Protein backbone atom coordinates (compact mmCIF):
# COMPACT_ATOMS: atom_id res chain seq x y z
CA UNK A 1 0.00 0.00 0.00
CA UNK A 2 1.22 3.54 -0.63
CA UNK A 3 0.72 4.43 2.98
CA UNK A 4 2.66 2.57 5.63
CA UNK A 5 4.66 -0.65 5.77
CA UNK A 6 3.66 -1.69 2.32
CA UNK A 7 3.22 -5.34 1.76
CA UNK A 8 0.36 -6.68 -0.16
CA UNK A 9 -2.21 -9.15 0.99
CA UNK A 10 -2.11 -10.85 -2.40
CA UNK A 11 0.73 -11.56 -4.76
CA UNK A 12 0.26 -9.06 -7.51
CA UNK A 13 0.10 -6.27 -4.90
CA UNK A 14 3.27 -7.08 -3.04
CA UNK A 15 5.63 -5.17 -5.30
CA UNK A 16 3.58 -2.02 -5.11
CA UNK A 17 5.30 -1.63 -1.80
CA UNK A 18 8.46 -0.87 -3.66
CA UNK A 19 7.82 0.64 -7.05
CA UNK A 20 6.02 0.32 -10.35
CA UNK A 21 8.21 -2.09 -12.28
CA UNK A 22 5.98 -3.19 -15.11
CA UNK A 23 5.56 -2.02 -18.66
CA UNK A 24 2.27 -1.23 -20.34
CA UNK A 25 0.59 -3.66 -22.70
CA UNK A 26 2.94 -4.29 -25.62
CA UNK A 27 2.49 -6.56 -28.61
CA UNK A 28 5.77 -8.34 -27.81
CA UNK A 29 4.54 -9.49 -24.36
CA UNK A 30 2.11 -12.28 -23.41
CA UNK A 31 -1.42 -11.22 -22.50
CA UNK A 32 -1.14 -13.04 -19.16
CA UNK A 33 1.45 -14.81 -17.01
CA UNK A 34 1.08 -17.01 -13.92
CA UNK A 35 3.70 -17.90 -11.33
CA UNK A 36 4.61 -17.79 -7.67
CA UNK A 37 6.84 -15.60 -5.55
CA UNK A 38 8.36 -15.33 -2.11
CA UNK A 39 9.59 -12.31 -0.17
CA UNK A 40 11.10 -11.34 3.18
CA UNK A 41 10.01 -7.88 4.39
CA UNK A 42 10.81 -5.68 7.38
CA UNK A 43 8.97 -2.42 8.06
CA UNK A 44 7.97 -0.13 10.95
CA UNK A 45 4.78 -1.32 12.70
CA UNK A 46 3.22 2.01 11.73
CA UNK A 47 4.64 5.40 10.68
CA UNK A 48 6.92 6.79 13.47
CA UNK A 49 6.78 3.54 15.47
CA UNK A 50 9.81 2.26 17.36
CA UNK A 51 8.78 -1.36 16.72
CA UNK A 52 9.03 -3.38 13.50
CA UNK A 53 7.05 -5.99 11.58
CA UNK A 54 9.05 -8.69 9.79
CA UNK A 55 7.31 -11.24 7.58
CA UNK A 56 8.03 -14.06 5.16
CA UNK A 57 5.38 -14.17 2.44
CA UNK A 58 4.48 -16.62 -0.31
CA UNK A 59 2.20 -15.21 -2.99
CA UNK A 60 0.81 -15.85 -6.48
CA UNK A 61 2.52 -13.86 -9.22
CA UNK A 62 -0.22 -12.93 -11.68
CA UNK A 63 0.22 -10.59 -14.64
CA UNK A 64 -2.58 -9.53 -16.99
CA UNK A 65 -1.93 -6.92 -19.69
CA UNK A 66 -5.41 -5.95 -20.85
CA UNK A 67 -6.10 -2.66 -22.56
CA UNK A 68 -8.25 -1.57 -19.58
CA UNK A 69 -7.89 -4.09 -16.74
CA UNK A 70 -4.32 -4.86 -15.69
CA UNK A 71 -2.69 -6.85 -12.92
CA UNK A 72 1.07 -6.48 -12.80
CA UNK A 73 4.01 -5.57 -10.58
CA UNK A 74 2.61 -2.07 -10.04
CA UNK A 75 -0.61 -3.52 -8.59
CA UNK A 76 -4.15 -4.07 -9.84
CA UNK A 77 -5.64 -1.21 -11.82
CA UNK A 78 -8.21 -0.27 -14.42
CA UNK A 79 -7.03 2.26 -16.97
CA UNK A 80 -9.56 5.03 -17.62
CA UNK A 81 -7.55 7.20 -20.03
CA UNK A 82 -4.13 7.09 -21.70
CA UNK A 83 -2.06 9.12 -24.14
CA UNK A 84 1.60 9.42 -25.04
CA UNK A 85 2.22 11.70 -22.06
CA UNK A 86 -0.38 10.91 -19.41
CA UNK A 87 -2.49 8.10 -18.02
CA UNK A 88 -5.35 7.93 -15.53
CA UNK A 89 -6.21 4.67 -13.81
CA UNK A 90 -7.90 3.28 -10.70
CA UNK A 91 -5.64 1.07 -8.61
CA UNK A 92 -5.61 -1.07 -5.48
CA UNK A 93 -2.97 -1.86 -2.86
CA UNK A 94 -2.76 -3.26 0.66
CA UNK A 95 -0.78 -3.21 3.93
CA UNK A 96 -0.07 -5.73 6.66
CA UNK A 97 -1.74 -5.56 10.10
CA UNK A 98 0.03 -4.72 13.36
CA UNK A 99 -0.72 -6.34 16.73
CA UNK A 100 -0.82 -3.70 19.48
CA UNK A 101 0.38 -6.26 22.04
CA UNK A 102 3.71 -6.25 20.18
CA UNK A 103 4.04 -2.45 20.19
CA UNK A 104 4.82 -0.95 23.61
CA UNK A 105 3.39 2.48 22.76
CA UNK A 106 0.03 0.94 21.76
CA UNK A 107 -0.28 -1.59 24.59
CA UNK A 108 -3.96 -1.96 25.54
CA UNK A 109 -5.16 -0.15 22.39
CA UNK A 110 -6.99 -1.75 19.43
CA UNK A 111 -4.89 -3.59 16.87
CA UNK A 112 -4.17 -1.99 13.51
CA UNK A 113 -5.93 -4.27 11.01
CA UNK A 114 -5.00 -4.95 7.39
CA UNK A 115 -5.61 -1.98 5.12
CA UNK A 116 -6.98 -1.87 1.58
CA UNK A 117 -6.34 1.27 -0.45
CA UNK A 118 -7.97 2.17 -3.76
CA UNK A 119 -8.62 5.21 -5.92
CA UNK A 120 -7.56 7.17 -9.03
CA UNK A 121 -3.94 7.79 -10.01
CA UNK A 122 -2.68 10.26 -12.62
CA UNK A 123 0.70 9.38 -14.15
CA UNK A 124 2.59 11.93 -16.26
CA UNK A 125 5.69 11.24 -18.33
CA UNK A 126 7.96 14.22 -17.71
CA UNK A 127 10.95 13.28 -19.84
CA UNK A 128 12.45 10.45 -21.90
CA UNK A 129 16.18 10.73 -21.24
CA UNK A 130 17.35 8.04 -23.65
CA UNK A 131 19.14 4.76 -22.98
CA UNK A 132 16.06 3.33 -21.20
CA UNK A 133 15.88 6.21 -18.71
CA UNK A 134 12.69 8.05 -17.86
CA UNK A 135 11.37 10.65 -15.44
CA UNK A 136 7.70 10.56 -14.42
CA UNK A 137 5.32 12.02 -11.86
CA UNK A 138 2.40 10.26 -10.17
CA UNK A 139 -0.55 11.70 -8.25
CA UNK A 140 -2.53 8.93 -6.50
CA UNK A 141 -5.57 9.77 -4.37
CA UNK A 142 -6.60 6.78 -2.26
CA UNK A 143 -9.51 5.80 -0.01
CA UNK A 144 -8.37 3.58 2.88
CA UNK A 145 -10.44 0.68 4.30
CA UNK A 146 -9.48 -1.32 7.40
CA UNK A 147 -10.51 -4.99 7.51
CA UNK A 148 -10.85 -5.74 11.23
CA UNK A 149 -14.14 -7.15 12.51
CA UNK A 150 -15.74 -5.95 9.29
CA UNK A 151 -14.83 -3.17 6.85
CA UNK A 152 -14.26 0.34 8.21
CA UNK A 153 -13.53 3.57 6.33
CA UNK A 154 -10.24 5.07 7.47
CA UNK A 155 -10.08 8.20 5.37
CA UNK A 156 -8.01 9.29 2.38
CA UNK A 157 -4.39 9.79 1.41
CA UNK A 158 -2.71 11.77 -1.35
CA UNK A 159 0.87 10.91 -2.32
CA UNK A 160 2.50 13.02 -5.08
CA UNK A 161 5.58 11.15 -6.28
CA UNK A 162 8.54 11.87 -8.56
CA UNK A 163 10.28 8.79 -10.01
CA UNK A 164 13.44 8.22 -12.05
CA UNK A 165 13.81 4.83 -13.71
CA UNK A 166 16.43 3.10 -15.82
CA UNK A 167 16.96 -0.36 -17.21
CA UNK A 168 19.54 -2.61 -18.75
CA UNK A 169 19.46 -3.96 -22.27
CA UNK A 170 16.43 -6.21 -22.95
CA UNK A 171 15.18 -5.55 -19.41
CA UNK A 172 17.88 -7.71 -17.84
CA UNK A 173 17.83 -5.40 -14.81
CA UNK A 174 15.73 -2.45 -13.65
CA UNK A 175 16.30 0.31 -11.13
CA UNK A 176 13.98 3.01 -9.84
CA UNK A 177 14.37 5.72 -7.26
CA UNK A 178 11.45 7.86 -6.13
CA UNK A 179 10.66 10.72 -3.77
CA UNK A 180 7.16 11.28 -2.37
CA UNK A 181 5.13 12.93 0.37
CA UNK A 182 2.10 11.24 1.97
CA UNK A 183 -0.71 13.55 3.11
CA UNK A 184 -3.61 12.15 5.10
CA UNK A 185 -7.00 13.46 6.16
CA UNK A 186 -8.00 13.50 9.84
CA UNK A 187 -9.48 9.98 9.83
CA UNK A 188 -6.36 8.18 8.64
CA UNK A 189 -4.16 10.24 10.96
CA UNK A 190 -6.50 9.33 13.82
CA UNK A 191 -6.04 5.68 12.89
CA UNK A 192 -2.32 5.91 13.61
CA UNK A 193 -1.88 8.69 16.15
CA UNK A 194 -5.05 9.41 18.15
CA UNK A 195 -5.25 8.32 21.78
CA UNK A 196 -8.88 8.24 22.95
CA UNK A 197 -9.45 9.14 26.63
CA UNK A 198 -10.24 5.51 27.56
CA UNK A 199 -6.76 4.47 26.34
CA UNK A 200 -4.84 7.25 28.08
CA UNK A 201 -2.29 6.31 30.74
CA UNK A 202 0.25 8.12 32.89
CA UNK A 203 2.81 7.83 30.10
CA UNK A 204 0.38 8.05 27.17
CA UNK A 205 -1.85 11.13 27.44
CA UNK A 206 -5.03 11.52 25.40
CA UNK A 207 -4.41 13.06 21.98
CA UNK A 208 -6.64 14.25 19.14
CA UNK A 209 -5.01 13.83 15.72
CA UNK A 210 -5.14 16.38 12.90
CA UNK A 211 -5.05 16.07 9.12
CA UNK A 212 -1.84 16.84 7.27
CA UNK A 213 1.55 15.39 6.39
CA UNK A 214 2.09 11.75 7.39
CA UNK A 215 5.63 11.30 6.06
CA UNK A 216 8.08 11.99 3.26
CA UNK A 217 9.76 9.03 1.59
CA UNK A 218 12.82 8.23 -0.51
CA UNK A 219 12.76 4.80 -2.11
CA UNK A 220 14.99 2.57 -4.22
CA UNK A 221 13.75 -0.51 -6.09
CA UNK A 222 15.70 -2.92 -8.27
CA UNK A 223 15.23 -6.22 -10.04
CA UNK A 224 17.48 -8.67 -11.90
CA UNK A 225 16.30 -11.32 -14.33
CA UNK A 226 18.20 -14.59 -13.94
CA UNK A 227 16.51 -16.24 -16.93
CA UNK A 228 13.23 -16.03 -18.83
CA UNK A 229 11.24 -17.37 -15.87
CA UNK A 230 13.01 -16.17 -12.70
CA UNK A 231 13.52 -12.62 -11.45
CA UNK A 232 15.05 -11.38 -8.20
CA UNK A 233 13.91 -8.08 -6.67
CA UNK A 234 14.64 -5.89 -3.67
CA UNK A 235 13.73 -2.52 -2.25
CA UNK A 236 14.90 -0.08 0.39
CA UNK A 237 12.87 2.90 1.59
CA UNK A 238 13.76 5.70 4.01
CA UNK A 239 10.86 7.54 5.67
CA UNK A 240 11.09 10.86 7.48
CA UNK A 241 8.43 11.86 10.03
CA UNK A 242 9.92 15.26 10.88
CA UNK A 243 7.54 18.17 10.45
CA UNK A 244 4.49 15.90 10.26
CA UNK A 245 1.05 16.99 11.41
CA UNK A 246 0.96 14.72 14.50
CA UNK A 247 4.55 14.75 15.75
CA UNK A 248 3.22 15.71 19.23
CA UNK A 249 1.24 12.46 19.56
CA UNK A 250 2.55 10.07 22.26
CA UNK A 251 2.41 7.41 19.53
CA UNK A 252 4.92 9.38 17.44
CA UNK A 253 8.12 7.81 18.77
CA UNK A 254 10.74 8.17 16.02
CA UNK A 255 11.54 10.84 13.43
CA UNK A 256 12.62 8.35 10.78
CA UNK A 257 12.23 4.75 9.73
CA UNK A 258 13.58 2.29 7.17
CA UNK A 259 11.76 -0.46 5.27
CA UNK A 260 13.31 -3.13 3.10
CA UNK A 261 12.75 -6.45 1.45
CA UNK A 262 14.10 -9.03 -0.99
CA UNK A 263 12.35 -11.70 -2.96
CA UNK A 264 12.14 -13.92 -6.02
CA UNK A 265 9.42 -14.53 -8.61
CA UNK A 266 9.04 -17.56 -10.85
CA UNK A 267 6.75 -17.59 -13.90
CA UNK A 268 5.70 -21.06 -15.06
CA UNK A 269 2.84 -20.35 -17.50
CA UNK A 270 2.30 -17.74 -20.22
CA UNK A 271 -0.42 -17.20 -22.78
CA UNK A 272 0.36 -17.64 -26.45
CA UNK A 273 -1.81 -14.61 -27.18
CA UNK A 274 0.06 -11.32 -27.25
CA UNK A 275 -1.09 -8.19 -25.45
CA UNK A 276 -2.41 -5.37 -27.63
CA UNK A 277 -2.06 -1.64 -27.20
CA UNK A 278 0.83 0.77 -27.26
CA UNK A 279 3.05 1.51 -24.30
CA UNK A 280 2.28 4.78 -22.53
CA UNK A 281 3.69 6.30 -19.36
CA UNK A 282 4.41 3.14 -17.40
CA UNK A 283 7.99 2.12 -16.66
CA UNK A 284 10.20 1.49 -19.61
CA UNK A 285 10.87 -2.21 -19.18
CA UNK A 286 9.31 -5.50 -18.20
Which phi and psi (to 5°) does residue 165 adopt? Answer: -130, 150
What's the confidence (pLDDT) of residue 62? 85
pTM, full prediction:
0.83
What's the confidence (pLDDT) of residue 175? 96
How far is CA 202 from each of CA 83, 108, 176, rounded to the nearest angstrom?
57, 13, 45
The verdict on residue 38 lying in a domain is yes
Closest among 41, 35, 98, 38 to 228, alpha carbons compared: 35
Looking up residue 77, the CATH number of its domain turns out to be: 2.40.230
The verdict on residue 283 lying in a domain is no
The verdict on residue 253 lying in a domain is yes
The verdict on residue 190 lying in a domain is yes
What's the confidence (pLDDT) of residue 63? 85
What's the confidence (pLDDT) of residue 13? 40
- The ranges of the chain with pLDDT < 50 are 1-25, 278-286
The verdict on residue 282 lying in a domain is no
The verdict on residue 6 lying in a domain is no
The verdict on residue 163 lying in a domain is yes
What's the confidence (pLDDT) of residue 72? 64
What's the confidence (pLDDT) of residue 277? 54
Domain that holds residue 55: 11-270
The verdict on residue 286 lying in a domain is no
CB 281 within 8 A of CB 123: yes
What's the confidence (pLDDT) of residue 284? 45
What's the confidence (pLDDT) of residue 158? 96
**How many domains does the chain fold into?**
1
Amino acid sequence: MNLLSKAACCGCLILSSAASAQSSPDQSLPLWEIGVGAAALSTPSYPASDERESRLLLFPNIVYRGEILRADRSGINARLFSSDRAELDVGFAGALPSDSDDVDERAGMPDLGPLLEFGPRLKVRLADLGNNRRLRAEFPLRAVIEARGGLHARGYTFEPRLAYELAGERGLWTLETNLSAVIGDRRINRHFYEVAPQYATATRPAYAADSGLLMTRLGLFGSRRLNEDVRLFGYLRFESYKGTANRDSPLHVKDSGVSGGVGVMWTFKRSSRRASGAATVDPVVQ
